[in-house]
Amino acid sequence: KVLENLSKQAHKTMEPEFYQQHTALLQEQIDAFQLEIARLQDEHPHLRSLATDRLRQELIAIEAEIYADYMRAGLLKYKPEPLLPEMFISKGFLERP
């Protein structure tokens, strides 16, 4: 998110050199974090499933927010049943509550 914000602000107020230096520093740190995450996941395989479970929950929350946005905009009169949880259950990624 920091990198995204830096990119959004770059054209408004930043000198190109400042932007390039900070972008390179942030990308270097992101790369280091990704290597550390991969190392930890190799050492502790259960971390991989925790990450994918969290991603599934985030996707479900995004779907719910989309329906809420449509309702607020008047595009939907009622909130439909979410599709993602049922799909994840049918594929064996989630258990039925």
| pLDDT tens per residue across span 25-39 | 999 999 999 999 999
Higher pLDDT, 27 or 22: 27
User: Which pTM was predicted?
Assistant: 0.58
| pLDDT tens per residue across span 31-80 | 999 999 999 989 998 888 888 899 999 999 999 999 999 999 999 999 89
- How far apart (Å, rounded) are the C-alpha atoms in residues 64 and 76? 13
**Is residue 4 pLDDT above 80, yes or no?**
no
Distance (Å) of CA 55 to CA 74, 80, 94, 96: 29, 22, 12, 18
